[in-house]
Amino acid sequence: MSESTPANWRRTDEFLSELLVGHDAALDAALAAQEDAGMPAIEVAPVSGKLLSLLARISGARRVLEIGTLGGYSTIWLARAVGDDGQVVSIEAEPANAAVARASIDAAGVGDRVAVRIGRAAEVLPTLDGSEPFDLVFIDADKQSNTIYLDWAARLGRPGTVVILDNIGRDGEIVNDASADPMVIGTRDALRMLAEDPRFDATALQTVGIKGWDGFALALVI
Ligand code: DHB
Ligand code: MG
């Protein structure tokens, strides 16, 4: 019987990725471009990219909001999932990241359905108010601002909107009351908000795998 160790979680995740996700030239190229640009390898794991795609398709999402584009890896997954007549608005604070993402998204052949908005999400989000509601919101940006992003997800969504919040585990640090790490505090605040804010019904799952020990929250706007 194998042991539950980070090395085994990684091997198992690699096996699942190979088996169920496989390889894709456009996604591989997006990751290579991200690495060449010196951006951190903090995109979602392949199995999670596919999960985002499945959640978008299961919910029939046509309009998707992503907060935190990075190199466009998850953006491409979501853009494919919304189909030809769908739209993804992805917000990225760092212009250099947005340029890399834009090129990768275009090269993946889904550029026509993706708008990359450059700026601090807390400033860009209010400018989206008044547009059609988003069907799915993926939050994967600076964790300190998670509660602001959840608030906008509810405001820019509608009853039935799916909200996914990345990185809720942080190597177990979220149970450390004494943590002074602003990313941990922002994540804990977000989880408390998902529990208490009547606009959401939520759960969270821990994940282990090629990205280590982490997790995501899944919520429905009610
Ligand atoms: C970090 C951010 C992420 O979105 C992620 O998936 C992993 C790590 C970070 O900033 O440390
Ligand atoms: Mg993340």
pLDDT at position 150, please? 98
pLDDT at position 159, please? 98
> How does DSSP assign 145-167, residue by residue?
GHHHHHHHHHHHS-TT-EEEEE-
pLDDT at position 165, please? 98
Q: Among residues 143, 201, 136, which one has the least CA distance to residue 164?
A: 136
Instruction: Choose which residue among 167, 170, 216 to substitute to test ligand 1 binding: the one with the highest number of ligand atoms within 8 A of its C-beta.
Output: 167
**Atom in ligand 1 nearest the alpha carbon of residue 43:** 6
**Atom in ligand 1 nearest the alpha carbon of residue 141:** 4
165, containing H or E segment: strand 162-166
Number of helical H runs and strand E runs in the chain: 8, 7
Q: Among residues 59, 41, 51, which one has the least CA distance to residue 17?
A: 51
Q: Is the pTM of this model over 0.75?
A: yes
> How does DSSP assign 45-111, residue by residue?
PHHHHHHHHHHHHHTT-SEEEEE--TTSHHHHHHHHHH-TT-EEEEEES-HHHHHHHHHHHHHTT-G
> CB–CB of 30/2 below 8 Å?
no
Q: What is the mean pLDDT of each successive set of 10 residues along the chain, which is 222 residues long?
A: 89 97 97 98 97 98 98 98 97 98 98 98 96 97 98 98 96 92 97 98 96 96 98
Q: Strand pairing partners for 114?
A: 88
Q: Find out whether the beta carbon of 145 lies less than 6 Å from any atom of ligand 1.
A: no
**Atom in ligand 1 nearest the alpha carbon of residue 68:** 4
Over the stretch 31-69, which tens digit does the pLDDT of each residue have? 999 999 999 999 999 999 999 999 999 999 999 999 999
pLDDT at position 18, please? 97
Give the Å distances, CA to CA, from 28 to 141, 152, 159.
Answer: 22, 31, 35
pLDDT at position 1, please? 59
Q: Find out whether the beta carbon of 66 lies less than 6 Å from any atom of ligand 1.
A: no
Q: Find out whether the beta carbon of 166 lies less than 6 Å from any atom of ligand 1.
A: yes
> CB–CB of 167/188 below 8 Å?
no
Q: Find out whether the beta carbon of 43 lies less than 6 Å from any atom of ligand 1.
A: no
Q: Find out whether the beta carbon of 31 lies less than 6 Å from any atom of ligand 1.
A: no
Domain ranges for the chain? 6-221
**Atom 1 of ligand 1: nearest residue by CA position:** 42
Residues in the chain: 222
Q: Find out whether the beta carbon of 55 lies less than 6 Å from any atom of ligand 1.
A: no
The answer to whether domain 6-221 has CATH 3.40.50.300 is no
Token pair, residue 49, equals 């990219």
**Atom in ligand 1 nearest the alpha carbon of residue 70:** 4
Q: Rounded to an integer, what distance in angstroms lies between the CA atom of residue 171 and that of residue 75?
A: 25
